Structure 1
């Protein structure tokens, strides 16, 4: 027979419950339900009508040049340019402590044997940031004078990424492809 001490002042049932609770917490809470992270890939349908591409009646280099001009005309900053690919970014501040950056990626590939038509593959990623304020403080002790401490403090702000997502296919890309088409038409009139 096991005897217990009554020195803790807690009833035996409460002590047993605390021991079981502690064991469950240490054991990773296998008996408690936990939420699985969302599996976003299950919503990926790979449907032909939801494309991030458009076919253009121009060589790949001309198509990417039109994309470059379209992005520059809207205030994007080019990060990388090649004859058949480019990357560009643009920053926004919709609220005081919220910053958003859109990164565009464009790849232009020739279609057919003559290479006189091409497909532009485009995706844009939206990164969301928030301002995090931190305060650093320190004391300066001067031993010759005694225990004099002068507080030194500084406030720093930094941007912390809080989200990132690919902008879904739809009107955003349609507007971009229409602007690309306009620049392609202007290029063909000059040549």
Structure 2
């Protein structure tokens, strides 16, 4: 008897302890909000707020979102997904562009996505039947209508989801803010040579002959047919020409002197 009493008391204590544990208050969902700057929902861009929102709007349009706002600094769009025959999902995207107020006109894009879940529900309808004596009587007639009812709503918090969106926004930014290719560096001056040194003289270059532009080509005319060339008759030998007689002129010769017969005396020497 005493043993069963103790067992009943122990079971009652366990039941009370379990009830006490179930009735303890749970941590509220807002206690998980730390409000730290994680950078998941915002990005900075070196453009104005209007240009940033235009890039954000084009990014949503390229992915099939329906834009529902016309404010130049606010973009709203939604996209529907049919998962199964009885469930439906819709993502609502909201983008706000705010200028930082700095001198270089930078803007911050704040984006957040909300997903709503819809389920197919059946609703019973009752019809009213009018009777002249009794008045209007409501009679349950078997009639049901199917309608989509929102069953859940949650903010998308996936960092990868927003990383893909902001990467697409970069593609639609104005061209002048995209990083340009670095300019080629000037050639370095060799050591020991001052920069203000006069340039070395260069050889004079030959003048460049002007290019002659050919005239427009004209169609070639086929040559005319010519008569066959007949062989010429053999030429007759020419008669020898008559030459005049050549007159001979006598040549006068120098007179010959006779040899001396007497010896020539020598000339006298003066002073002898």
* Same-fold call, TM cutoff 0.5: yes
Larger strand proportion of the pair: 1
Flag the 1:177–1:39 CA change in 2: closer, same or farther, 3 A.
same
Counterpart in the other structure of 2:108: 119
- Which residue number in structure 1 is paired with residue 163 of structure 2? 174
Instruction: Look at both structures and tell me which one has the larger radius of gyration over its CA atoms.
Output: 2
Instruction: Provide the C-alpha distance between the structure 2 equivalents of 1:76 and 1:38, rounded to a whole number of angstroms.
Output: 37
Contact residue 140 and residue 151 of structure 1 kept, 8 A: no
Of the candidates 84, 96, 100, which is equivalent to residue 85 of structure 2? 96
2:140 and 2:41 map into 1 onto residues whose CA distance is 56
In structure 1, the partner of 2:197 is: none
Of structures 1 and 2, the one with the larger relative CO (CA 8 A, separation 6+) is 1
Residue in structure 2 matching 1:183, options 147, 172, 178:
172
**More moved, 128-137 vs 72-81:** 128-137
Extract structure 1 runs of 4+ deviating beyond 6 A: none
Question: Which runs of no fewer than 5 residues in structure 2 stay unpaired?
Answer: 1-18, 133-138, 179-272
Aligned-residue Cα RMSD (Å) equals: 2.9
Structure 1 residues without counterparts, runs of 5 or longer: 1-29, 144-149
CA distance in 1 between counterparts of 2:57 and 2:176 reads 13
Larger fraction in helix: 1
CA contact (8 A) 1:50 1:169 kept: no
Q: CA offsets, 1:127-163, max 9 Å, x none?
A: 11111012325475788xxxxxx99543311222111
| Aligned mates of 1:164, 1:151 — CA distance in 2 | 34
Name which of 28, 31, 35 aligns with 1:42.
31
Deviation at 1:35, TM superposition (A): 6.2
The partner residue of 1:69 within 43, 58, 64 is 58
The alignment of Structure 1 onto Structure 2 pairs a total of residues equal to 155
The equivalences for 1:1-20 within 5 A come to none
8 Å CA contact 2:118, 2:152 repeated in 1? yes
